[in-house]
Amino acid sequence: MSAPGSKIPPRPHPPLRLGISLCLLGEGVRYDGSHKRSSLCHDALEGLFEYEGICPEVAIGMGVPRAPIQLVGDPARPRAKGVEDASVDVTDALANYGRRVAARIGDFAGYVLMNGSPSCGMHAVRVHVAVRGPAVGRPAERRPGARHDRVGEGSGIYAREIMAADPCLPVVESVRLEDAVVRESFVTRTFAYAHWKLLGPQRESVGAILEFHSRYKYLLLAHSAAEYRRLGRLLANPPAVGDGELASRYIHGLMSGLSRAATRDSHADALVHLVRSLEPGLNSASRRELTEAIEAHARGEVPRAAVLTLLARHQGSGPNGLVSGQVYLEPHPTLPHGRNML
Ligand code: SF4
């Protein structure tokens, strides 16, 4: 719920709408008819997201099964060509399709991509770089003048267009979701970004941006003290820019900061700031109890969820309910069946 007079809409409820590489949903759309079903997307994140599966290679008419493609050329601007027949070049078709999809996914809160794919890979996709000349340090059969391959890394052709169209969109590769910290960060960002989008035209208002930031600042502090300070300076003295420039600078900073991994120390720092915001409404016993819990959390003796529960219990004693609207207390809904990513 939003406070009376608030410019900020209530936070979004799950399920949020997400794009996903179709093979991760268990559809047999890979070049050989297989799939790469992600149990994490289905089970670990169950209830949080509603997925729209997209397979760019099938969408451009390559069919199943199909001859595989690979990235070749300059890793910064690779081409997607046939592995066996290099005259097959689907780069432009994939890029055009990516731009068409990007233009219609304004309601997506994020995107889960299949790692390693020349179409869907977010980064670190193998790019085969053709080289002519002496192969220094290569086996003897690689004679001077012979053609050989060096391998670089780049982004999939389709993925590159999706990310370029909206750099703030939370995007993650499925394999990275196996890391609990990355998983929590991704979910947190999707809910923050969906909330920001709910602001609609209010995003043009400095007052609305300030109020939005007041809800997210401790969450941001836990992820990036540098971005917390930078946005604090930006909003303390907002530049006279128009056409959504301030909103754009703000959300880029917020999403960039939230993409950094929070550590136990950075969480402890955010918690200390939160407790300070409760003062002077706290009595000394409450302050001591919270401080000790935070220190125990920083030492790894107490889970963060326990400190947050304690904070929630004490927030009623804070001035003007200052802490109660803090997203940091609940960055995203608890997972079904009582599971929690904290
Ligand atoms: S990685 Fe992308 S292009 Fe390849 S099968 Fe999956 S959805 Fe299709």
What are the tens digits of pLDDT across the range 69-100?
Answer: 999 999 999 999 999 999 999 999 999 999 99
DSSP 70: E
Total domain count for the chain?
A: 3
**Does 283 score more than 60 pLDDT?**
yes
Instruction: Write the pLDDT tens digit of every residue in 10-58.
Output: 999 999 999 999 999 999 999 999 999 998 888 888 889 999 999 999 9
Burial of 276 (0-12, 13-18, 19+ CB in 10 A): exposed
Q: Tokens 């997203």 appear where?
A: 327
Q: Is 239 helix (H, G, I), strand (E, B) or coil?
A: coil
Average pLDDT, the chain: 88
Decide whether any atom of ligand 1 lies within 6 Å of the 20 Cβ. no
Q: Which amino acid is at 115?
A: N
- Per-residue burial over 155-191, b if 16 or more Cβ lie within 10 Å, else e, is bbbbbbbbbeebebbbbbbbbbbeeeebbbbbbbbbb
Instruction: Write the pLDDT tens digit of every residue in 242-260.
Output: 768 899 999 999 999 999 9
Is 191 inside a domain boundary? no
Q: Which amino acid residue places its CA nearest to atom 4 of ligand 1? A: 30
Q: Which amino acid residue places its CA nearest to atom 8 of ligand 1? A: 55
Can you tell me the distance from the alpha carbon of 240 to that of 238, in angstroms, rounded to the nearest whole number?
A: 6
Q: Which residues pair with 80 in a beta bridge?
A: 71
Is 184 inside a domain boundary? no
Whether residues 158 and 268 share a domain: the answer is: no
Whether residues 236 and 314 share a domain: the answer is: no
Burial of 78 (0-12, 13-18, 19+ CB in 10 A): buried
Q: Is 132 helix (H, G, I), strand (E, B) or coil?
A: strand
Is 10 inside a domain boundary? no
pTM to 2 decimals? 0.89
Is 192 inside a domain boundary? no
Is 51 inside a domain boundary? yes
Q: With cut-offs at 50, 70 and 90, classify the pLDDT of residue 147.
A: low
Whether the link from the prior residue into 15 is cis, omega within 30° of 0, is yes
Substitution candidate for ligand 1 out of 55, 113, 173 with most atoms within 8 A of CB: 55
What local confidence, expressed as pLDDT, does residue 305 receive? 86
Whether residues 168 and 50 share a domain: the answer is: yes
Examine the fold and report which residue of 216, 240, 258 is the final residue of a domain before the chain moves on: 258
What local confidence, expressed as pLDDT, does residue 336 receive? 55
Whether residues 273 and 132 share a domain: the answer is: no
What local confidence, expressed as pLDDT, does residue 314 receive? 77
Whether residues 270 and 250 share a domain: the answer is: no
Q: With cut-offs at 50, 70 and 90, classify the pLDDT of residue 318.
A: very low
Whether residues 228 and 274 share a domain: the answer is: no
Decide whether any atom of ligand 1 lies within 6 Å of the 117 Cβ. yes
Is 7 inside a domain boundary? no
The separation between the first and the last C-alpha atoms of the chain, rounded to the nearest angstrom, is: 23
Is 193 inside a domain boundary? no
Residue 181 CA, ligand 1 centroid: distance in Å: 25
The residue among 191, 176, 185 whose CA lies nearest residue 223 is 185
Whether residues 159 and 36 share a domain: the answer is: yes
Whether residues 164 and 30 share a domain: the answer is: yes
**What is the token pair recorded at 166?**
């909206």
> Which domain covers residue 232, as residue numbers?
199-258
Whether residues 309 and 275 share a domain: the answer is: yes
59-to-22, 84, 278, 290 alpha-carbon distances in Å: 11, 21, 54, 55
Decide whether any atom of ligand 1 lies within 6 Å of the 120 Cβ. yes
Decide whether any atom of ligand 1 lies within 6 Å of the 55 Cβ. yes
DSSP 116: T
Whether residues 316 and 289 share a domain: the answer is: yes
Examine the fold and report which residue of 225, 258, 291 is the final residue of a domain before the chain moves on: 258
Whether residues 272 and 245 share a domain: the answer is: no
For residues 68 and 280, the model is more confident at: 68
Sorted by sequence, the CB contacts under 8 Å of residue 187 that are 6+ apart come out as 45, 48, 331, 332, 341
Whether residues 209 and 332 share a domain: the answer is: no
Residue 144: count other Cβ atoms within 10 Å of its Cβ: 9
The residue among 166, 241, 181 whose CA lies nearest residue 209 is 241
Is 86 inside a domain boundary? yes
